[in-house]
Structure 1
Amino acid sequence: MTPDAAARPVTIITGASRGIGAEIARRLAAEGHDLVLTYRDRLDDAERVVAECEASGARVLLLRVDMADLDAAAQVVPQAIAAFGMITGLVNNAGITGRIGPFLDAPLEETELVFRVNVLAPIVVTQSAIAHMSTERGGAGGSVVNISSGAAKSGSPNTYITYAMSKAALNALTTGASKEFGPAGVRVNTVSPGTTRTEIHAAAGRPNAPDERAPGIPMRRPGEVHEIAGAVVYLMSTDASYTSGADIRVAGGN
């Protein structure tokens, strides 16, 4: 590893093959980060993001990981350290909503999957990342950003209450970990998007959901992925060196 490479931040982004995760990857690459990107499927999309990040000068490790497989999730940080020698940041972005619909129609099996991907996998990866970055354990400090949702506060009635519950749990991870590991040089923050134009809505069975919800958003439009990524870039930057435990809501006024 060259001296210049050793000075570059190394950030893990889960679920980075498309949507918000892909845009975060592109933006952090442009800011000088080397990257570890995970994806579950659609290798072509993931490789396209890698190529775009490499064109910005980033070194990139691409890992195929189903975040519902907690044993596989537990290997993300060790593989990143093996490749780059260290990590300085983590973005817990991978997430699923489950199907859109009334709470009484939410199957328990689907809810269990939502919690595995949205809550348990971030716990596993974050524990490993903080153990590596903690100055109390010999690390150099670092930053964790959890991608939550405005649903964590609204509860999303008639839409996906169990998804909202999972994101509220992720918010609790930010609150608790930021307080516990602030003395160890690790900042932990949240970005909470509102309705954003991504493919997650199609996976939930309502591909037109962003535009359908637009009339109820104060800014009368859904968000775009670059608007979410900008908040993450800020939290990963030295400008946010005194920001921890924060929840930046990027939700068009909701």
Structure 2
Amino acid sequence: MSGLLVVTGASAGIGAATAQLAAMSGWGRVVVHYGRDAEGAHETAAAVEAMGAEAHVLQTDIGAPKQVEKLFARVAALKPGRLGLVNNAGIVAPPAGIAELTPDRVARLFRVNVLGAVEVARQAVALMRSWDRGGGIVNVSSAAARLGSANQYIDYAACKGAIDSFTLGLADELAPEGIRVNAIRPGLIETGIHAKGGQPDRLEQIGHTPPLGRPGRAEECAEAILWLLSERASYVTRTILDVAGGR
């Protein structure tokens, strides 16, 4: 179990669930990245180690390219192995209509959710090529990318639309090297992102609306991510998988 899985935004939610379940999918080492929530990251790391994998807790502002470079310099110092990336870190802002989408707000979201995600992928691919042990990438998008999130999060939705396009292009570029690139689009998932976006009761209001009649769990997203990274999905690339209960 020499594979190394880098999970950004692993202190809570989908990232934490993915890191915690990684050992069950054959990952022997997990990089637990966090931005601000050190306590949550260390809780995730403890769960990773309880599952039998080795955890490395690393802090970085994903929106700062130099910090992302330093993050991967620290990853590169670890023992080489098959490298997986779960490109999950992201932020959301309170609900707003177009009149409230100021340049500062939109720039902040794109800095982390798009520019940061692209830089994380760039650094990860460079390391995959350097180590030459194979690898794979799963970007975490959102159902908002195809729904639009009118009157709520259209800037966040636009960010995730960019991630969808980036996934397709990067998959085409890396396929000849045997590096598979996919994404998932979570729908209404029981995580803290709703409270961070100013709507702590959002799932109470609309969690019943997907065809499956309930919100999803972070673990259900994690299972999809880890399948896409596994050899069970060896013929799957350039695919964006909805994990949205039919929504």
**Fold match (TM-score > 0.5):** yes
Name the count of aligned residue pairs: 246
Structure 2 Cα separation of the partners of residues 103 and 221 of structure 1: 29
Structure 1 contact 228–250 (Cα < 8 Å) conserved? yes
Unaligned runs of 5+ in 1: 1-6
Percent identity of equivalent pairs: 36
Q: Which residue of 2 aligns with 1:73?
A: 68
Question: Which of the residues 49, 53, 61 maps onto 1:54?
Answer: 49
Question: Which of the residues 194, 202, 225 maps onto 2:218?
Answer: 225
1:220, CA displacement in angstroms? 2.1
1:138, CA displacement in angstroms? 6.4
Structure 2 contact 7–33 (Cα < 8 Å) conserved? yes
Q: Which residue of 1 aligns with 2:8?
A: 14
Q: Which residue of 1 aligns with 2:244?
A: 251
1:107, CA displacement in angstroms? 2.3
Q: Which residue of 2 aligns with 1:172?
A: 165
Q: Which residue of 2 aligns with 1:3?
A: none
Q: TM-score, normalised by structure 2?
A: 0.95
Is 1:110 the counterpart of 2:110 in the alignment?
no
1:120, CA displacement in angstroms? 0.7
Structure 2 Cα separation of the partners of residues 216 and 32 of structure 1: 35
Q: Which residue of 2 aligns with 1:242?
A: 235
Structure 1 Cα separation of the partners of residues 176 and 134 of structure 2: 10
Q: Which residue of 2 aligns with 1:4?
A: none
Structure 2 contact 80–133 (Cα < 8 Å) conserved? no
The Cα offsets for residues 170-189 of structure 1, whole Å up to 9 and x where unpaired, read as 11111001001100111000
Q: In the alignment, residue 21 of structure 2 is paired with which amino acid?
A: R
Structure 1 Cα separation of the partners of residues 108 and 82 of structure 2: 28
Q: Which residue of 1 aligns with 2:201?
A: 208
Question: Which of the residues 96, 100, 107 maps onto 2:95?
Answer: 100
Q: TM-score, normalised by structure 1?
A: 0.92
1:213, CA displacement in angstroms? 1.6
Q: In the alignment, residue 154 of structure 2 is paired with which amino acid?
A: I
Structure 2 contact 62–120 (Cα < 8 Å) conserved? no
Is 1:182 the counterpart of 2:175 in the alignment?
yes
Structure 1 contact 149–164 (Cα < 8 Å) conserved? yes
The Cα offsets for residues 20-78 of structure 1, whole Å up to 9 and x where unpaired, read as 10000011123231111111122221111111111122111111112122211222222
Cα RMSD (Å) = 1.4
Structure 1 contact 181–187 (Cα < 8 Å) conserved? yes
Question: Which of the residues 28, 33, 58 maps onto 2:22?
Answer: 28
1:86, CA displacement in angstroms? 4.3
